[in-house]
């Protein structure tokens, strides 16, 4: 059985660019990658992506589970997260997706996700 993690945008980019430390690379190699619809959008939102990086990201998305439906449970979690923690909306939706599907979130962006009750956060640079 593959381990299930929700990967934040910075984790996907660092993985595709070969910047993750060995323990994080091993973790991602042993899991079935999954991303939220927000991460999918953020990966391609920059106008500065070169063709090689765009192709790497497209390949990564193709092998990933993409949680591309923001259902009522995600909405409820995201509202609560915004109200309680003042988390930016994209990060609140990412966290809400992880909570809804009981996934551990892998992100180096600890500031926006810290203290969210029930969220299991893994910093790939602290493994």
pLDDT tens figures, 16-32: 999 999 999 998 888 88
Q: Is 78 exposed, middle or buried (0-12, 13-18, 19+ CB in 10 A)?
A: buried
28 against 122, higher pLDDT? 122
Q: Domain of 80: which CATH number? A: 3.40.50.1010
**Does pLDDT of 1 surpass 60?**
no
Alpha-carbon gap, residue 42 to 62, rounded angstroms:
15
Give the pLDDT confidence score for residue 4 in this predicted structure. 86
What is the domain extent for residue 109? Answer: 3-126
Give the count of domains, the chain. Answer: 1
Q: How far apart are CA 9 and CA 52, in angstroms?
A: 17
Q: Are strands 31-36 and 3-7 parallel, antiparallel or unpaired?
A: parallel
The per-residue pLDDT for range 35-69, each reduced to its tens digit, is: 999 999 999 999 999 999 999 999 999 999 999 99
pLDDT of 3 over the 70 cut:
no
For residue 126, pLDDT beyond 60: yes
**How confident is the model over 93-105, as pLDDT tens digits?**
999 999 999 999 9
Name the E strands within 68-118: 104-106
């Amino acid at each position: 059985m593959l381990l299930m993690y929700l990967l934040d945008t910075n984790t996907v980019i660092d993985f595709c660019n070969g910047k993750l430390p060995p323990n994080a690379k091993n973790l991602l190699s042993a899991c079935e990658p999954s991303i939220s619809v927000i991460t999918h959008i953020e990966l391609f939102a920059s106008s500065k992506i070169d063709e090689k990086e765009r192709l790497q990201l497209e390949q990564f998305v193709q092998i990933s589970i993409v949680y591309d439906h923001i259902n009522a449970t995600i909405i409820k979690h995201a509202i609560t997260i915004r109200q309680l923690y003042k988390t930016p909306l994209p990060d609140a939706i990412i966290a809400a997706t992880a909570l809804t599907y009981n996934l551990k979130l892998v992100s180096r962006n600890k500031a926006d996700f810290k203290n969210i009750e029930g969220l299991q956060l893994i910093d790939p640079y602290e493994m």
